Every structure is written in C-alpha cells, then in structure tokens.
Chains A and B, each alone.
Chain A
C-alpha cells in the first residue's frame, strides 16, 4: 500500500465516524460548533499519532497476553498529557470539551488502530496511519460541528452568517435543536447518508 493511500483512507474509505461508526460519543458530544469539533479532532489526532508511534516501537517487546493493557496504559498516558497541556494552554477549549477529553482513552479508534495497525506495521506507516485516521476523524467532527453550528446558531467558526430572521430581542431565531442532543443524532444520520452517496459515486 502506498503511503498516500495509507494516509487518505482515513478520510473517506475508512473514515472512523462516517464509515466505521467508531468514536461516536465525542463525535456527538462535542460538536456543538465547528471549532469544538476541530479541537476534539486534533486532540484525538495527537493521541492517535503518538500512541501509534509508541506502540509500533515497542510492539515486539510486549507479550501477547498483556498487549491490550499495555496499549491502554500507553494511550491513557498520552490522553493525560493532552489533558494537562490543554488545561495549561487552552483552558477555554478544555472546559468546552469537558468530560470527553479523558474519554479519548476509550475511543475505539485509538485502541483499534493500535491493535489493528500499529502493532503490525512499521513506525513510519503507523505514524502516517495515525495522521490519516486522526485527521479524517477531525474532519468529520469539524463538518458535523459546522453543520450543527450553522443550523443551530446561525454561525460558522463563530462567524455570523445572518441566515435566520431576528426575533423581537434582536437575537437570531435559530433551530436550537441542532445544538442539543436530538440534532446531533439527526445531523449525523443524514451526513452518513450523504457520505455514503459520495463514496459510492467516487467508487465508480
């Protein structure tokens, strides 16, 4: 497999969110806006790349029976690092993402990639794979966040789009549902349909 393919599969063909349906909790939980989605995506990418790197480095040193616990410890360490770093340098975003940062640890993509890819491939491929999957995940979250932000708040990356009529108090009448739980599910459902269609078209 060429490295480019290795990298790009994470965007469409094996996109974690739209195709593999993994890591759904953060996907739904934090995407009230594009910027939150992107932040979460990048944080996950960091963990993914680093854990892929470390796992592929130490893979031969780890006995099979403790493979999973070892991987979990490695991943959890990087998650904690992200937690600490974000708390220190981007506290606002950290507060927004809240519980979902520690939950990166149980994000099936991270462990899944460590298991399925990094523990079988060399360091370079593993890093590329991590970047591809991670950025694909980040892209998915940003798109979902963007859609929900546009419909639910009438803005994108905080930029007012002036899509919705203003009410008596001068606030835009947006479809609040989309920043709430039901909107997350519904928006993701339709996005998956759309991506499926695109994937099918491009496959031809």
Chain B
C-alpha cells in the first residue's frame, strides 16, 4: 500500500513538473513533438533511476557515514554528471538502437533539475532503497506523462490559429498552467 501511495502521489498528486516545478526547462524545451518527448521521457527514466540508486548508496555509506551530509549537493551533481556520461558510453556500445533513440537527450539531462531533485527528495523523505527506486520510477513516469500530454497539446497548438503575441513559449506556459490546474483535481487522492 505504501508503494501505491508513493506511485500515485508522484505521478498524479505531486506531479514533479506540474506541482513540484522540477525539470521545467526540458518540459518547455523538448516538448514540441510527441515522439521526441517520449524519447526524453525514456532517457530521464533511465538516468533518474540509476542516479537515485547511486546517490542513495553514496548518501548512506559515504556522506552520512563520515558525517559530511552538507556535501550532498556537490557530490550528487558530480555523480550525476559522470553517470550521464557513463550511460551514454555504455549505451553506445551495448545497444546502439537505444542510443539512437535516447542519445541526443542524454547531455540535456545533466542540467535537468528533476534528476538531482528526485535524488535529494528521496534522501529527504527517508525512503529506503526500494522505496527510493519506486519513487524515482514514479517520478519519471510522472515526468513522462506530463511531457507527453503537453507535447500532444503543443502539437495541436501548431494546427490552430494562436494569436501572434501568444505564439511559442507564452502559449506553452499557459497550456502548462491549465494542465496544472486540471491536475489539481487529483489533490488529496492519497
């Protein structure tokens, strides 16, 4: 049941993008097409899960063990940056097709606060390893859901007559706002 709560909370109620404001830059930037959004969502899921596991271990067995929890930010980001590179390299070797699909998004993820944010949140919430993983996966799904729905909406925006001044990013924000408004309905679901 706890896992269910984590999942529903992360995907719908406290959606990482629409309620927590994490990963907004790619949300706005990489969402003009549904297909690319799906690729981005896949890449984020991948990195987010691995990063959460690694940072969890780092936190428990290095930072807390040595009493240097204040070094969280710097170590986490270093690890994430290295990890993204590593993933890129391994992927290139192991699965060129997957690399083709996710490759272009990987560099973008380093500076995506969603990954760092989820890693830090998992620690803050005192989750155990399994819970952290579930938390990361659900957040990634929440991110993907928001991104793909949003990309769908933006594709439609290309086909309608948006007033000149609103075209592009402003209308994207407006759509995001209304999407967030709709998602408020999930409030209290957990």
| Contact between A and B in the complex (any CB pair below 8 Å) | yes
Q: Is A91 an interface residue (CB 8 A)?
A: no
Chain B interface residue bracket vs A: 35 or more
B184's partner among A24, A29, A180, A197 (CB-CB below 8 A) is: A180
Q: Is A97 an interface residue (CB 8 A)?
A: no
In the bound assembly, the distance between CA atoms of A150 and B180 in angstroms comes to 21
Evaluate contact between A72 and B81: CB separation under 8 angstroms: yes
In the bound assembly, the distance between CA atoms of A107 and B110 in angstroms comes to 10
Chain B 99-133, CB within 8 Å of chain A: the 1/0 string? Answer: 00000000000111100110011001000000000
A106's partner among B20, B111, B173, B177 (CB-CB below 8 A) is: B111
Residue from B171, B173, B178 having most chain A Cβ neighbours under 10 A: B173
Identify the stretch in B38-46, B71-79, B151-159 within 8 Å (CB) of chain A at 4 or more residues.
Answer: B71-79
Evaluate contact between A189 and B81: CB separation under 8 angstroms: no
Could you show 20 A-B contacts with beta carbons less than 8 Å apart? Answer: A21-B169, A25-B22, A25-B23, A25-B113, A28-B24, A29-B21, A68-B81, A72-B77, A76-B77, A77-B74, A80-B74, A106-B111, A106-B113, A106-B116, A180-B180, A182-B180, A182-B184, A185-B180, A186-B178, A193-B165
| Given A25-B24, A25-B25, A105-B74, 15 additional A-B pairs, CB 8 A | A24-B21, A29-B22, A68-B110, A69-B82, A77-B74, A105-B116, A106-B77, A108-B111, A181-B19, A181-B184, A182-B184, A186-B178, A189-B170, A189-B171, A193-B165
Residues on B lying within 8 angstroms of A by beta carbon are: 18-25, 28-29, 70-74, 76-78, 81-82, 110-113, 116-117, 120-121, 124, 165-166, 169-174, 176-178, 180-181, 184
